[in-house]
Amino acid sequence: MGDNEELKLVSLEQIKAANEEVQNSFLCTRTPLLEQVQSRFHEGTPVELYLKLENTQVTGSFKVKGLANQLAHLPKAVRDGEKEVITMSAGNYGKALCYAAHKLGIKARVLTPETAPMDRTIIMESYGATVERVPSSELMQTVDRYVRELGLHFLHPFDDLDIIAGYGSVGLEILADLPDPDIIAVCCGGGGLVAGIAAAVKLSGKADTRIYCVEPETANAMHLSFQNGEAAQLPNSHSVASGLSPPFAGRKTYNHCKHFTEGVLLVSDDELVRATKHLYERGLVVEPAGAAAFAALMFNKIPDVIGKRVVIVLTGGNVSPQQMYELWKEY
């Protein structure tokens, strides 16, 4: 793919068209925005707090919103079952794809890192998909081999303009419920969600809204990308938040984040786990990856928040009580 393609930004028209696909898709539901819940969820710096609950999505995470728009642009050979789709995922995107493939009658193969929770592999296989566990550093080259040798159709889990536009629907939903947010914080793994939200908000004329990417300290590919001025590789990326630990940042997502966000905030694994416990004690089940943006607020990583309207996007709730208990014991 050429540099010009990688430098393209989604337009507001593309995001609005994607939003129509998302709102009409059987995969998705419009998630609530909890309004002015600071007294319940945040005892620290005084803010006006809003929580966007993507952890209540149909498959337990935001991933279906990007996927819905990707599926709307599938080649005919895939739709007709003549060609298999392949992706790489630590769990949530793969789960969403396998669920959709099962419903639509298309063939799906997911490559998942060896470090991903085993229960997610079992869930994906339950939908009839083929799932292979490979080392994180070999994910992309294994995808390339399958595409080259077997002619599979690759659906990128984050570095794709259709998926970025689909995730822009989350930004439009936020603005529909809260027209003038001061700050929006979003977790960042590959960067697709924050890229889409930031593009939707800024292209809707909200130039003064500050949008932050939030990454784990030990899985900080987007942070390194901002430092280096180009999408960074991070083959040893690791975190308790496996969904935020891809071995590289996307070139398209980095380009969007560079244009539309204020930059990257980092949180530790300990802070991620403590954020999940804080939310759970107040009635919300959120996995470590899904709690990254909340951790940034909870541990004072977001600058200049006093008195501001702050939106925190909670992105996933695919975690069992036993997994939560083990995490809380360890940290």
- What is the CATH number for 95? 3.40.50.1100
Q: Let me know whether 322 and 187 are in one domain.
A: yes
Please say which residue of 154, 182, 208 terminates a domain.
Answer: 154
Q: Let me know whether 292 and 178 are in one domain.
A: yes
- What are φ and ψ of residue 53, in 5° steps? -95, 70
What is the residue range of 40's domain?
3-61+162-330
Q: Give dist(CA 130, CA 134) in Å, integer.
A: 13
Give, in degrees to the nearest 5, the angle at Cα 44 between 38 and 47. 45
Q: Let me know whether 306 and 189 are in one domain.
A: yes
Q: Let me know whether 74 and 56 are in one domain.
A: no
Binned at pLDDT 50, 70 and 90, residue 1 comes out as very low
Amino acid at 127: Y
In this predicted structure, what is the pLDDT of residue 189? 95
Q: What is the pLDDT of residues 64-89, one digit of tens each?
A: 999 999 999 999 999 888 899 999 99
Q: What is the CA radius of gyration of the chain?
A: 18
Q: Let me know whether 103 and 228 are in one domain.
A: no
Q: 57 with 65: CB under 8 angstroms?
A: yes
In this predicted structure, what is the pLDDT of residue 100? 94
In this predicted structure, what is the pLDDT of residue 244? 94
Q: Let me know whether 280 and 175 are in one domain.
A: yes
Q: 261 with 211: CB under 8 angstroms?
A: yes
User: Number of folded domains in the chain?
Assistant: 2
pLDDT, average across residues 172-181: 98
Q: Give dist(CA 50, CA 234) in Å, integer.
A: 32
Q: What is the pLDDT of residues 11-48, one digit of tens each?
A: 999 999 999 999 999 999 999 999 999 999 998 889 99
Binned at pLDDT 50, 70 and 90, residue 7 comes out as confident
Please say which residue of 136, 154, 172 terminates a domain.
Answer: 154
Q: Let me know whether 55 and 186 are in one domain.
A: yes
Q: Let me know whether 105 and 172 are in one domain.
A: no
Q: Give dist(CA 172, CA 201) in Å, integer.
A: 7
